[in-house]
Amino acid sequence: MLSERQEQILLSLKRFDYLTVKQLQQLHDLKGNRNAYRVMKQLEPYLHTFKDDGVNIYYLNKKGREAVACDKERKKLTTARHYIMRNNLYIHLDQPANWENEVKITLDPISVIADAHFITNRHYLVEIDHVQKMKANEKKIEKYRRLIERNAFKGMPGVIWVTTTPYRRDRLMELCEGLDSLILLDTDIK
C-alpha cells in the first residue's frame, strides 16, 4: 500500500515523465540526499531508473503506471535531458499552477506544439532547445509570430527558451527579436 507521499511522487512522475532526485527533492520537500534516496529505494517496485551524465533519472514502470492510472509508457531515452530541462524550468519558475506540457496551439492553418504553456497575467510559451536543429527553432518562432499577428494569445505572450550553449542562446536571441522572449541557459536554472 502506498503512502500519500509515495503516491504524490508517482503522480509527479506521471505528470513530468522523467525526474531526477534533485527535482523530486524540490517538488516533494524530501530534504537531504540520504532521505531522498531512501524514499526512492522504497518506490523501486514502481520505477525504472537510468543514469544520464551521472544523474539518476526515474520514470514509471508498468506497476507504477497502474498505481496512478497512467496510460503513457515511457522508455529509457537519449532525449530524456529535454524533459529534465523542462522540469528544471518549471521548478525555477516556482511551479506555475496551470503549467501544461506539450500543448498544441492551432489557429487554422497554423499549428504548433509548445513544449509547455502556462498563464499568469498573460500567456507564456516554453521551448526547450536541447538537440533541436536551429532551422526547426526558426520555423517554430515564425509560427509564433504568425499566431501573434492573428491575436491567438489575446496580446503578446512571453516566450521562454532554455538552451545549452551561449552560441545557441545568442542565435535564439536574434531569431526572437521583436518578441517578448527570455532565453536561458540550462546552467542558469539547475
Q: What is the pLDDT of residues 76-107, one digit of tens each?
A: 988 899 999 999 999 999 999 999 999 999 99
Half-sphere exposure of 103 toward its Cβ, with a 13 Å CA cutoff? 15
Say if residues 158 and 128 touch (Cβ distance below 8 Å): no
Whole-angstrom CA distances from 115 to 3, 16, 128, 140 are 31, 12, 7, 11
**Burial track 133-161 (b if 16+ CB lie within 10 A, e otherwise):** eeeebeebbebbeebbeeebbeeebbbbb
Q: Which domains does the chain have, with CATH numbers?
A: 4-76 (1.10.10.10), 100-188 (no CATH)
How far apart CA 143 and CA 159 sit, in angstroms, is 12
Query: What pTM was estimated for this model as a whole?
Result: 0.93
Say if residue 180's pLDDT is above 90. yes
pLDDT tens digits, one per residue of 136-174: 999 999 999 999 999 999 999 999 999 999 999 999 999
The candidate with the shortest Cα–Cα distance to 73, out of 119, 121, 14, 118, is: 14
Say if residues 119 and 93 touch (Cβ distance below 8 Å): no
Say if residues 118 and 89 touch (Cβ distance below 8 Å): no
Give the strands of the sheet with 100-107, arranged side by side: 100-107, 110-119, 123-128, 158-163, 180-185
Say if residues 118 and 100 touch (Cβ distance below 8 Å): yes
Find cell 541557459 and name the residue.
185
Say if residue 131's pLDDT is above 90. no
Say if residues 30 and 37 touch (Cβ distance below 8 Å): no
